[in-house]
Amino acid sequence: MLERGKRKRTKHVDVFFGASPVSRSRLGLVVAKHGNNIIQRNLVKRRLREIGRRLVLPGLDADGRNADVLLRARHSAYRANYAQLEREVMEAVEALCSEDS
């Protein structure tokens, strides 16, 4: 995925986008410790997972795309709120989808 797909970097998240080898869209998360504790790390993971579950995957399904999306949290994601992460992820996915067309 990291080698064969497209990447869009934002302030808080790196979004990787590629064709899915299966018949549905999938979401992956990478949230490194970056010197933070497990509580902070789990908060970032929950936020990104919820953004993917509520917005990214349904949007891809509505467009009829089978794509793999990998969200990698950057160090600054620990200081971002949900709205910032949601806006950045959605803008990046929309940009990658328009490039892919």
CATH number for the domain harbouring residue 49: 3.30.230.10
Longest dimension (CA), the chain: 40
Sign of CA dihedral 75, 88, 30, 41: positive
In a domain, 60, yes or no: yes
Average pLDDT over residues 10-27: 93
In a domain, 97, yes or no: no
Query: What's the pLDDT at 14?
Result: 97
Q: 3 pLDDT exceeds 60?
A: yes
Number of domains into which the chain is organized: 1
Q: 78 pLDDT exceeds 90?
A: yes
Domain range for 82: 6-92
> Do residues 29 and 49 lie in contact, with contact meaning Cβ atoms separated by under 8 Å?
yes
Average pLDDT over residues 48-66: 94
Average pLDDT over residues 80-99: 94
